Amino acid sequence: MADHNHDPAAVERKLWKEIEDNRTGMLGLMRDDQHFQPMTAFVERDTNQVWFFTYKDTDLAEAAGQGGGHAMFVYQGKDLQACIGGELTVRHDPARMEKYWSPVVAAWYPEGKDDPRLTMLCLDCHDAQVWITEAGPLRFAFEIAKANASKARPDLGERTNLNLH
């Protein structure tokens, strides 16, 4: 993909909206022994934070609870892909639990929001790399054919680096 100058503010708005609309991505600490795992994200745009429900005794919560650490949240949508970096910490926050509780969340945590094992993770976002691909199937086919004929790379989207501090 081309590395063009996109309007960072517009890209950031699109990133948060995509995550708010679809919620699911892969979260993990940047450690050799940690695998990324699917998580449901709750975005707080004004603070550049993303919150996640989890149990205190999960591998991810236990690792984050040992001083936190650098983490990545990877989001893959239809026309937007992103990798968001930041610091992940465990934060038991009953007000946020109440705010984000829903029938979907309840399905994963059958003991309810008062379960003593339930907690939240907070990703304080520092930066992101975002790829936007607004090519439908016809443009995709054209760009692939053109690239193969000309031995040039297809132009199917743009990458933008965001500073989220």
Q: Is beta strand 118-132 parallel, antiparallel or unpaired with respect to 49-55?
A: antiparallel
Pairwise CA distance, residues 160 & 81, whole Å? 11
Q: What is the pLDDT of residue 137?
A: 60
Q: With a cut of 60, say whether residue 123 has pLDDT above it.
A: yes
Return the CATH number of the domain spanning residue range 8-133+159-163. 2.30.110.10
Considering only residues 110 and 156, tell me which one the structure prediction assigns the higher pLDDT.
110
Pairwise CA distance, residues 91 & 51, whole Å? 9
Domain ranges of the chain: 8-133+159-163
Across residues 82-96, what is the average pLDDT?
96
Read off the pLDDT of residues 96-108 as tens digits, 9 standing for 90 and up. Answer: 999 999 999 999 9
Considering only residues 159 and 18, tell me which one the structure prediction assigns the higher pLDDT.
18
